[in-house]
C-alpha cells in the first residue's frame, strides 16, 4: 500500500513536470510568433495623419521615477494630443509634479482634474469616470502613473487602433527594479513569467481577451457601449474587465509590439509577497479555471519534486535538466528579446527563487479574500472590492 502511494506521487510529479515543460514550449512558441510579427510590421512615417488622442492618467501619491514617466508622455512625436491627470484628493503630492510638468512643457495641452466624488470602491476607476467628460478627443489612452514610454509610443499604439475591427490595444511591459531583492524578484516575474503567460494565453485562446494596465487604448464610443468606466468601478482588475468586455462585443483586443517601462519601488520580501498575493487573488477571481490550471505551469517546482522522489533514476535527472533549460530559455527569449529587459541575463540565477515564491503565493491565495491596495485593505468577492 505504501509503495502504491509512492508510485502515485511519482507519477503525479512526473506529469506535473511534463505539463510545465509543455507550457514553457507554448510560451516560447508564442514569443517567437510575436517577434516574427513585430519584425514584419511597417512603421508609418512620423508625419502620418492619425486621430488626436486624450491620455488619461489617474494619480494617487507618488511612484519611483514618476516625473520622468510624465516627461516621456510630453516628448511624443505626434501631431495632436492632450494629457489629463486626475486626483481624488486636492492635497495629493502628485499635484506638485503635474504643476512642474506644465511649467516645463507650456506648449503641451495638460490639465489636472480634482475628482471629489466616490463612485465606487476602486478609486482609480472612480477618478477616471470623472476625468472622462473633460477629455476632448474620441480616442483615449489610459495607462498607469509610473509608465515611461518611447517618443513613438502614441504613433505606434494609435496605428494599431486604426481599424474598425480593433476595439482595444494593450501592451507588455518590463519592470525596472530598485536595489532590493524583493524588487528584483518582482521585475523578473513581470518580464520572464507574466509576459510569457500573456503570450501563451494569446496562443491557447486564439488572441487576447483581456487588457493590461500598462496601456489601454480604445475609442470613447466603444467604452460607452460596455457601460463606461462606471461599469467596472468596483472591480480590482479594472484593466482586465475592460478588455474582457470589449472582446465580448466581438471586437479585437490587440497586443501591440510596444513594450513600456514601469519603475518598481524598493520592495522588501514582505512587500513583494503582498503585492504578488493581491495580483494572484485578483486573477483567481477574474479567470477561475485558468488560475486553477496554473498549477500545471510551475515546471521548476515540479522538477524539484521529481528529483526529491525519483532521485536515483537517470531519466528523472534528464527531465529536470530539460525543465531548467526550457524555463531559462523562456526567461531569456521573453524577458530579453520580447520586452527588452536588460536586467534579465545578470539576474537569471534568481529565476528558480522567484518560481518557488510563485507557487507559495498560488497556494496562499486560496486561503483568504483580503487584498491590500495603496495602503487600504479590502475584501475581494467575485472580483469586486468591498471596503
pLDDT tens-digit map of 207-255:
999 999 999 999 999 999 999 999 999 999 999 999 999 999 999 999 9
Whether residue 284 has pLDDT greater than 80: yes
Q: What is the pLDDT of residue 333?
A: 97
Please state the rounded mean pLDDT for residues 304-320: 89
Whether residue 43 has pLDDT greater than 70: no
**Would you place residue 41 in the very low, low, confident or very high pLDDT band (cuts 50, 70, 90)?**
confident
The tens digit of pLDDT for each residue in 69-100 reads 999 999 999 999 999 999 999 999 999 999 99
Q: What is the pLDDT of residue 2?
A: 63
The tens digit of pLDDT for each residue in 155-204 reads 999 999 988 899 999 999 999 999 999 999 999 999 999 999 999 999 99
> What's the chain's average pLDDT?
93
Bridge pairing between strands 81-87 and 109-114? parallel
Place of cell 504643476: 99
Under 8 Å between Cβ of 86 and 130: yes
Q: Where are the domains of the chain?
A: 2-36+285-367, 52-270
Instruction: Pick left, alpha or beta for residue 250 (phi over 0 → left; psi -120 to 50 → alpha; otherwise beta).
Output: left
CA distances from 111 to 101, 232, 349, 355 (A): 10, 24, 45, 42
Model confidence, pTM: 0.93
**Would you place residue 6 in the very low, low, confident or very high pLDDT band (cuts 50, 70, 90)?**
confident
Report which DSSP code applies to 182: H
Under 8 Å between Cβ of 251 and 164: no
Under 8 Å between Cβ of 319 and 17: yes
74-93 burial string, b = 16+ CB within 10 Å, else e? Answer: bebebeebbbbbbbbbeebe
Instruction: Pick left, alpha or beta for residue 299 (phi over 0 → left; psi -120 to 50 → alpha; otherwise beta).
Output: alpha
CB-CB neighbours of 246 under 10 Å: 26
Report the distance separating Cα 309 and Cα 269, nearest Å. Answer: 30
Q: What is the pLDDT of residue 163?
A: 87
- Over its C-alpha atoms, the chain yields an Rg (Å, rounded) of 22
Helix ranges (H only) for 132-268 are: 153-161, 181-189, 195-204, 220-225, 238-248
Report the distance separating Cα 122 and Cα 106, nearest Å. Answer: 32
**Would you place residue 376 in the very low, low, confident or very high pLDDT band (cuts 50, 70, 90)?**
confident
Q: What is the pLDDT of residue 266?
A: 93
Q: What is the pLDDT of residue 3?
A: 65
Edge-to-edge strand ranges of the sheet holding 252-263 = 109-114, 81-87, 53-58, 139-142, 216-219, 166-176, 252-263, 147-148
Please state the rounded mean pLDDT for residues 311-334: 93
Whether residue 47 has pLDDT greater than 60: no
- Classify domain 52-270 at the CATH topology level: Spore Coat Polysaccharide Biosynthesis Protein SpsA; Chain A (3.90.550)
Across 149-158, 286-295, 342-351, 353-362, least confident range:
286-295
Q: Which residues are bridge partners to 380 per DSSP? A: 385
Amino acid at each position: 500500500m505504501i509503495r502504491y502511494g509512492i508510485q502515485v506521487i511519482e507519477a503525479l510529479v512526473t506529469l506535473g513536470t511534463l505539463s510545465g515543460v509543455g507550457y514553457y514550449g507554448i510560451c516560447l512558441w508564442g514569443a517567437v510568433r510575436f517577434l516574427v510579427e513585430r519584425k514584419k510590421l511597417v512603421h508609418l512615417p512620423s508625419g502620418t495623419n492619425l486621430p488626436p488622442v486624450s491620455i488619461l492618467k489617474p494619480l494617487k501619491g507618488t511612484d519611483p521615477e514618476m516625473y520622468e514617466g510624465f516627461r516621456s508622455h510630453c516628448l511624443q512625436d505626434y501631431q495632436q494630443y492632450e494629457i489629463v491627470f486626475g486626483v481624488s484628493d486636492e492635497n495629493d503630492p502628485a499635484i506638485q509634479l503635474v504643476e512642474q510638468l506644465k511649467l516645463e512643457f507650456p506648449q503641451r495641452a495638460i490639465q489636472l482634474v480634482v475628482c471629489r466624488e466616490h463612485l465606487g470602491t476602486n478609486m482609480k476607476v472612480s477618478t477616471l469616470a470623472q476625468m472622462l467628460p473633460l477629455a476632448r478627443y474620441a480616442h483615449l489612452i489610459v495607462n498607469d502613473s509610473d509608465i515611461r514610454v518611447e517618443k513613438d509610443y502614441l504613433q505606434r499604439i494609435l496605428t494599431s487602433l486604426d481599424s474598425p475591427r480593433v476595439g482595444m490595444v494593450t501592451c507588455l511591459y518590463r519592470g525596472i527594479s530598485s536595489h532590493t531583492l524583493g524588487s528584483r524578484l518582482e521585475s523578473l516575474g513581470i518580464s520572464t513569467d507574466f509576459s510569457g503567460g500573456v503570450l501563451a494565453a494569446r496562443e491557447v485562446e486564439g488572441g487576447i481577451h483581456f487588457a493590461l494596465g500598462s496601456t489601454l487604448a480604445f475609442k470613447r464610443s466603444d467604452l460607452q457601449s460596455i457601460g463606461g468606466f462606471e461599469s467596472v468601478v468596483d472591480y480590482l482588475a479594472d484593466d482586465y474587465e475592460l478588455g474582457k468586455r470589449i472582446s465580448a462585443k466581438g471586437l479585437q483586443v490587440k497586443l501591440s509590439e510596444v513594450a513600456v517601462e514601469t519603475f518598481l519601488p524598493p520592495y522588501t520580501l514582505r512587500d513583494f509577497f503582498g503585492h504578488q498575493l493581491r495580483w494572484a487573488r485578483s486573477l483567481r477571481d477574474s479567470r477561475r479555471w485558468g488560475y486553477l490550471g496554473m498549477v500545471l505551469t510551475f515546471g521548476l517546482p515540479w522538477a524539484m519534486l521529481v528529483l526529491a522522489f525519483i532521485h536515483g533514476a537517470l531519466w528523472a535527472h534528464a527531465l529536470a535538466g530539460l525543465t531548467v533549460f526550457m524555463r531559462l530559455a523562456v526567461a531569456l527569449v521573453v524577458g530579453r528579446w520580447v520586452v527588452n529587459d536588460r536586467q534579465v541575463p545578470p539576474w537569471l540565477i534568481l529565476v528558480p527563487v522567484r518560481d518557488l515564491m510563485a507557487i507559495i503565493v498560488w497556494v496562499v491565495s486560496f486561503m483568504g479574500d483580503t487584498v491590500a491596495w495603496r495602503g487600504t485593505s479590502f475584501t475581494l468577492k467575485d472580483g469586486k472590492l468591498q471596503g
